[in-house]
Amino acid sequence: MQWVLPTYAFHQTLHAAHDEALAATSITLNRAMANFCAHDPRLKAVGYIPLNLGPERAKAIMDQGFEDGCYTFLVPTNEPNPANKSYTHPDFDPIWAGFAERGIPAGIHVAANGDYNPVSPSFKNNGKSELALGGDAPVGELALLNIGASAQLFLSAMIFDDVFTRHPDLRVMSMEHAAYWLPSWLHQLDFTANLLKRSRKFAEAPSVTAKRHIKVSPFAGEPVGWIIDNVGPDMLVFASDYPHPEGTNDPIGKFERTMTDCDAETMDKFYFGNMLDLMGLS
């Protein structure tokens, strides 16, 4: 099986439309993705839900996308309008319930971050040209270094705002946000909870919640073996980002050069077991 994501049509949807036009292009995009994948059950169409249109409109687009044949959807990680409600507000619970009740994981992706920019534009005024990796990867060293920032922020909010508590069957797949940040992020979650323990009681360590609800796809060439040593074998899933250049021409070789101490069970989880678990197929 393969998750099939939109790229250039997705960027056209995000950059060229607002309000009702954004709703219409999102519905059209989702229908096109479903039609593209309809001939082969191994292809899983991934559409898009513009949560910034509000929970009611977003839920209607989600329901229409499922009806048209989408497997799941990307959701933005950040609400760009500070006057609007966070996506972790209880008003958005019907969205998260829509994923959980179907046993379908929600997707987050670096391209769908709600215009979140972890790097101030002033850093671009540095007297040199930005380096581009290609594909839809962030442009510039600082942007690439902070590629996982929006995912960390969104997933932390999902945990601390009790979205996973209210929807215990909800799962989230983080794609193209890298994975090198996972070990320190899990420790940061628990450190933050420990500092707040006098004013708030957590039913479990936030890192435990994260490990149960979240999967992450690393980039080829990241120190996957080291990450697994520090977070356990259950969070990482294989992805090549084919055909983008950051997928490389030998993702398996690049992954396995960093996984020399991983046993067969760990390798099986990385290549297919964790993804089957995420999709409820194990």
Number of domains in the chain: 1
Answer yes or no: are the C-beta atoms of 111 and 136 closer than 8 Å: yes
β-bridge pairing 72-74 and 214-216: unpaired
- Note whether residue 55 is domain-resident: no
- 149-166: pLDDT as tens digits: 999 999 999 999 999 999
Residue 29 is assigned to a structural domain of this protein? no
The residue assigned the tokens 């997707």 is: 107
Q: Is the residue at 34 inside a domain?
A: no
Residue 147 lies in a domain: yes
Q: CATH number of the domain that 231 lies in?
A: 3.20.20.140
Enclosing domain of residue 188: 75-118+130-278
Beta strands (DSSP E) in 110-213 are: 172-175
pLDDT recorded at residue 182: 98
Is 19 inside a domain boundary?
no
- pLDDT of 249: 85
pLDDT at 165: 97
Residue 141 CA to residue 133 CA, distance in Å, equals 9
Please state the length of the chain. Answer: 282
Low-confidence ranges of the chain (pLDDT < 70): 16, 130-138
d(CA 242, CA 249): 9
Q: Is residue 260 part of a domain?
A: yes
Residue 56 has a CB neighbour count (10 Å cut-off) of: 11
Burial 136-172 (b: 16+ CB within 10 A, else e): bbbebeebbebbbbbbbebbbebbbeebbeebeebbb
Domain-embedded: residue 245: yes
* Residue 232 forms part of a structural domain: yes
